[in-house]
Structure 1
Amino acid sequence: MRIATRLSTAAIALTLASPVLAEGIDASLDTDGDGAYSFAELSAAFPDLAEESFTQFDASADGLLDAQEVAEMKKAGAFPMKDG
C-alpha cells in the first residue's frame, strides 16, 4: 500500500506541476487560482501583451488561456517575455 500511495502522490504532483512546466510562467500570475490565465492576469505581469494576441491564441474562446494555449502562444513567439 505504501508504494501505491507514493505513486499516487507523485502522479498528483506531476499533474499539478505540468501546466506550470509547460507554460514557463509563474503560477502566481493565476491570481484567482482557477488554473487558467485571463487577459487581466497576464497583462498585469506583461504590459506589452496585446489583447489581440491573447484573443488569437484563446482557441476555446472562453476568455482564458489554459496551459496548452499559453504554450502555443510562446511556441509561435507571440508571448512578450521580459528581458533579463
Structure 2
Amino acid sequence: MKLVIQACIASLIIHVVYFMGTLGMGYLQTKVYEPNLESQWENVHYLQSEVGFGVVVIPPFLYAFTFLGMAIISGVIIFFFKRSATKE
C-alpha cells in the first residue's frame, strides 16, 4: 500500500510541475515579447471579416488516465529502485 501512495504522490508532483511549467513558460513569453513594428510595417495581413467562437475542450477523464498511467510508471520505477537497493 505504501508503494501505491508513493506512486500517486510522484504522479501528482509530475503533473503539478508540468502544469506550472506550462503556465510559467506562457507567462515568461508574454512578459518578454516585444513586437517589431518597424520591420512588419511593409507586410500587411488583412484580418478575417468573420469571427468563430469556440472552446477546445479536453475531457476531464483524460487527466485521470494520465494521472493513473504516470502513477503506474512511477510505481514500477520505485519498485525496481527499491528492489535493486535491497540487493546491494
Kindly indicate which of the two structures has a greater share of residues assigned to strand: 1
Kindly indicate which of the two structures has a greater share of residues assigned to helix: 2
TM-score > 0.5 by shorter chain = no
Identify the structure with bigger relative contact order (alpha carbons < 8 Å, sequence gap 6+): 2
TM-score (norm 1): 0.29
